[in-house]
Structure 1
């Protein structure tokens, strides 16, 4: 039975979607909480709940790519996080989760 799942392109698409949602959730979890406020985005707990519910429902109910309305809503939330929130936070924290580095009194060096 697993052989037929591996040959199904929709199964692969569901695996990719779950992997993307997992990556977005882990990324949201490792970012600093104050960076969300500094970037003028929703709070860290908000994004953790939204992304966690999205991933959890897909793992619980199955990521149905064709008719899964919940899967698509969660995918949109993950895309919004990755395209809008993550770059703003990464710009503030220099991508390392901490403060800016390699900056002198007159700017970066």
Structure 2
């Protein structure tokens, strides 16, 4: 086993972990109601579903062996922005709508 084979397997393992994060972001993007996005002032559901869907597609490409590292980075940044900024806002809006205040 040479160094490049080990490096390839490490990259694929990291890509798999990142793909899981991108799947999590996409599932959450399509799970919430469209009016929750408007109430949270976070663009629209279609915008975030499309963006996280593109991130998911780029993540699948990285698993299949695409060597475009910049696309892998772009995909995880999109998913990270959704999970760190949009998702907490959506959860807060839905908690207020259900009568649970945080």
TM-score higher than 0.5: yes
For 2:98, the equivalent position in structure 1 comes to: 100
For 1:85, the equivalent position in structure 2 comes to: 86
Return the alpha-carbon distance in structure 2 between the equivalents of residues 78 and 65 of structure 1.
Answer: 19
For 2:25, the equivalent position in structure 1 comes to: 24
For 1:62, the equivalent position in structure 2 comes to: 62
Q: Which 5+ residue runs of structure 2 have no aligned equivalent?
A: none
Q: 1:65 to 1:13 in 2, by over 3 A?
A: farther
The alignment's TM-score, normalised by the length of structure 2, stands at 0.79
Q: CA deviation at 1:8?
A: 2.8
Across the aligned residues of Structure 1 and Structure 2, the Cα RMSD in angstroms comes to 2.5
> What whole-Å deviation, never above 9, does each CA across 1:12-71 have from its counterpart, x for those lacking one?
111000010001000111111101000111100000111101111332x32469851111
The alignment's TM-score, normalised by the length of structure 1, stands at 0.75
Greater CA radius of gyration, 1 or 2? 1
Q: CA deviation at 1:86?
A: 0.3
How many residue pairs end up in the alignment?
Answer: 95
Greater share of helix: 2
Return the alpha-carbon distance in structure 1 between the equivalents of residues 55 and 89 of structure 2.
Answer: 22
Q: Which 5+ residue runs of structure 1 have no aligned equivalent?
A: 103-107
